Structure 1
Amino acid sequence: MADKRIITAALTGAMSPKKVNPNVPVTPEEIAEDAYKCWKAGAAMVHLHMRDENDKPTCDIAKFEETQHLIQKKCNIIINMTSTGDSDDDKRMAHIIKLKPEFCSYDSGTFNWMANPPWVFYNTPEFLTKLNKVCLDYNIRPEIEIFNGGMISVAEYYIERGELKTPCHFQFVLGVKGGLAPTVENLVHLRNLLPPGSTWSAFGISAASMPMMYAILALGGHVRVGLEDSGFYTKGVMANNEMLVTRAARVIREMGAEVATPDEARKMLSITR
């Protein structure tokens, strides 16, 4: 079977302001249009955050619902909804429960995010226990986001108790201050900690995006790109999401692999709907 690699497009994020890069999509219409363009360029999955009228993160169910509807009218890309965007546990999950996307993000630990200003990224055992139940009850696949090695052991804790369904899919986030640095050594370390049978994807933040992409693909992983993680195509050249997906698809092919379609990715990621 051909070597297939999955591209995830993280379109908006919670901390990439439109005033810095006007290509960041913030309305449901803009996000859906970018999702469609990224699907045509080779993305199999799209990772969704919503923004309010002041360009701030929100868990507004209506915005998620409209965006999901608009995307599904255009293409069959896998929709992965964030479980961040609010400090209230129930609000973080309400849109996931109602809209039942195929995937949702699952950040398996709390840590100090050393941004400007620093803040605490809360993912408590109480929240994770609730999110585990949501994923099991509604047959939603969790994308387990990993910022340091200890988060993998948190996932293993829940796997052992039957609260996380295997095989699991992991997303390594490298370059956030407070998490692991974007190095090949750290990437290999995380990959080697994974439970048997897991699938994994990864990305480096900002200037680390391209060096890490080459390493990720060389090590057999899948890739995530998008304006959530990097606002520039090259130094001084602002990116858009379609450009970043197009480049990732080209690199995958130049390295001798093939770009997975959404339906191929569904089989690879054990989506059973």
Structure 2
Amino acid sequence: MKADFLKDKKLIITAAITGGIHGKWANPSMPLSPEEQAQAALECYEAGASIVHIHVRAEDGQNTPDLKYYNKAIKLIGENCQIIRQIGNGIGARVIEHHFTTKSGKKRMTTEIVQPSLEERLNLLNIDPKPEMHTINAGSFEFRTPYGGSLFKNPIDFNRKYIKRCNKGGFGLEIEVYDSSHIANVLEFVETGLLKPPLHFSIVLGIKGGAPATMENLLHMVHQIPEGSTWQVVTVGKYNLRTTVAAMCMGANIRTGLEDTIYYRKGELAEGNAQLVKRMVRIAMEIGREVATVDEAKEMLGLN
């Protein structure tokens, strides 16, 4: 599809409040418990976000597939506000530290990255109460973090099964693509009738192992997605603000939050997720993009 600098359709803002990599060691404002996540979601909703993107943590701060944390977070968020609740189906890896002493007496540590199983990820479809949306990751690749790299498995058969169950359960679906080959995978699902337009994409840039955060990559991937789709850009790291604003100017929706950047500006930690949402609302108003309400976002995404 074509990017359009003159599009003035209403802007859907997603708040990715926690993510699967950073903890409070990176930013003390990171919400980890269900109670903290419910409060963060409320603050983002009041600031202008219409979707909250959710990963949960166990008491030790590690990513977890345990539905009791998802159930509680979804319940508390729903009690606080009407924001659209979206589950990130990657869950996030656990990082296991192995401490040992060498023969010479020196203390050493290695880290092991343990990815959730595909069965644990499918189990997210049993969260109760039901969230409004799920995500899928449209292809496999080596996902590299400060802890090291591991294969982020998203095989076609798994995605096919996940999409079928989302269709049956009436969930909205956001499609995360990390390079243009993932878009080709999605188009195969469209050709077979498993996915029906309009589609909703997250173009993810800046993850090591995926497409770098460049305007050339962004434009190339936008041009590959079908006409009539909605899309947003998700950029991790130092290019987050600039690529997000560029996407907003191109008529896209946007995502912000501590999952994607722990900083408000270089060298200054964000005070919280709501501060990042408020900045996007202010910029949207400056360029003439009215921010969508939850009801308007539901209509735009076909969730009604």
Cα offset, 1:2, TM superposition: 5.9
Segments ≥4 residues shifted beyond 6 Å: none
The aligned residue for residue 76 of structure 1 is 82
* Paired letter, 1:227: L
Alpha carbons 1:82, 1:104 under 8 Å: kept = yes
- 1-structure distance, mates of 2:116, 2:16: 21
Deviation at 1:129, TM superposition (A): 1.6
Alignment partner, residue 108 of structure 1: 138
Name which of 201, 206, 209 aligns with 1:178.
Answer: 209
Residue of structure 1 equivalent to 2:278: 246
Give TM-score scaled by structure 1 length.
0.96
Unpaired stretches in structure 1, ≥5 consecutive residues: none
Report the counterpart of residue 260 of structure 1 in structure 2: 292
Identity of aligned residues (%): 36
Q: Summarize deviations over 1:160-214 as a string: whole Å, max 9, x none.
A: 1121232110001111111111122211111110112111011321211111122
Q: State the number of aligned residues.
A: 272
- Correspondence 1:157 to 2:163: no
CA distance in 1, matches of 2:208, 2:118: 24
Moved more, 263-272 or 6-15: 263-272
* Counterpart contact for 2:65–2:116, Cα < 8 Å: no
Question: Residue deviations 1:219-266, cap 9 Å, x none?
Answer: 110100011110000112111101100001111111111111111001
TM-score computed with the length of structure 2 as normaliser: 0.86
Secondary structure in structure 2 of the residue aligned to 1:259:
coil
Give the equivalent residue in structure 1 for 2:104. Answer: none
Separation in 2, partners of 1:128, 1:203: 20
Contact kept, 8 Å, 1:79 with 1:101, in 2: the verdict is yes
Deviation at 1:61, TM superposition (A): 0.9
Give the gaps of 5 or more residues in structure 2.
1-6, 92-114
Q: Among 123, 126, 140, which residue is 1:97 paired with?
A: 126
Name 2:101's counterpart in structure 1.
none
* 1:88 aligns to 2:117 (yes or no): yes
Within 5 Å, give how 1:1-273 maps onto structure 2. Answer: 3-85=9-91, 87-99=116-128, 100-116=130-146, 117-239=148-270, 240-272=272-304
